[in-house]
């Protein structure tokens, strides 16, 4: 059985900066790591490969330093790593990103029975790429996957979290799963895995090689755009009551509650 995992490189969240002009993240000079939820997705498929056999391919889109994250994936047990990297991809929104990934999968004829990705990334927090990619590839997709219950030769049975409950879903293969961190706990790389990663070949492609036109991706190919970035300002008309003023404060709170209730009743 063959597995494909989407892996994204994300910056240290404490050092994130946004370009106020373009509304995009400034990634230059930032320390990067594997998106945490993608690490849980990777662990899931590696454990499935150990149980059922097959191959694990990791696919990413990003700048050239994403190679380090892909080597980490190989050290953990992935067999093949592919990077789509091109300056024209800069500023791609979720749709342009999904389009580029879909074109790469189709052009390279990447075969898989199960496509798995983290529910969202810590830099964008949209949770859209997995769903959009599955749509472009005409795959059934299940989101908020908290547990993989069973994997058959032609189906996958999963537990899906919904607010304070859960659902059991059965989907035909090939399928796409967008997973939560509860699906698997990431392992640490072994020394043998690290050595293998050092010598591994990372396949790197640009948009021209996979048949993507510049106007289809990046800011030009993105139907959505961040037009303004600003820090929220919280303003409150606050009055503090203490010591001998406590009784007065309680009376004031009661008056405010009455006002609200009367407004709702009206």
- For residues 102 and 249, give the distance between their C-alpha atoms in angstroms, rounded to a whole number: 61
DSSP characters over 217-231 = STTTT-S--------
3-43 pLDDT, tens digit per residue, is 999 999 987 655 566 666 665 666 565 678 899 999 999 99
Q: Domain ranges in the chain?
A: 2-216, 236-266
CATH code for the structural domain at 2-216: 3.40.50.620
- Closest residue by Cα to residue 72 from 146, 145, 5, 143: 5
| Residue ranges with strand state E in the chain | 2-6, 9-11, 17-18, 25-26, 32-34, 55-61, 80-84, 114-118, 141-151, 155-162, 165-172, 175-179, 202-205
179-233 pLDDT, tens digit per residue, is 999 999 999 999 999 999 999 999 999 999 999 999 999 999 999 877 776 677 7
Note the pTM of the prediction, 2 decimals.
0.80
- For residues 203 and 78, give the distance between their C-alpha atoms in angstroms, rounded to a whole number: 13
Torsion of CA 148, 33, 128, 163, to 10 degrees: 50
């Amino acid at each position: 059985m063959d597995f494909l995992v989407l892996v994204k490189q994300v910056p240290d969240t404490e050092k994130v900066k946004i370009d106020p002009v373009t509304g995009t993240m400034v990634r230059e000079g930032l320390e990067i790591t594997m998106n945490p939820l993608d690490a849980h997705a990777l662990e899931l498929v590696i454990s499935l490969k150990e149980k059922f056999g097959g191959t694990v391919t990791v696919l990413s889109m990003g700048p050239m330093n994403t190679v380090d994250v892909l080597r980490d994936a190989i050290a953990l047990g992935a067999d093949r790593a592919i990077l789509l990297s091109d300056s024209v991809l800069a500023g791609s929104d979720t749709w342009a990103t999904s389009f580029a990934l879909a074109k790469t999968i189709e052009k390279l004829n990447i075969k898989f029975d199960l496509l798995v990705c983290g529910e969202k990334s810590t830099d964008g927090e949209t949770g859209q790429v997995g769903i959009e990619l599955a749509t472009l590839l005409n795959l059934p997709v299940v989101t908020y996957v908290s547990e993989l219950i069973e994997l058959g030769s032609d189906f996958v049975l999963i537990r899906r979290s919904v607010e304070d409950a859960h659902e059991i879903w059965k989907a035909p293969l090939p399928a796409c799963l967008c997973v939560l961190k509860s699906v698997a706990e990431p392992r640490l790389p072994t020394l043998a895995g690290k050595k293998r990663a050092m010598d591994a070949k990372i396949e790197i492609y640009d948009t021209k090689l996979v048949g993507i036109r510049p106007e289809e991706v990046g800011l030009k190919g993105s139907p959505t755009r961040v037009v303004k970035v600003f820090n929220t300002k919280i303003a409150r008309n606050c009055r503090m009551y203490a010591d001998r003023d406590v009784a007065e404060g309680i009376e004031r709170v009661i008056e405010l509650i009455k006002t609200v209730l009367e407004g709702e009743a009206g």
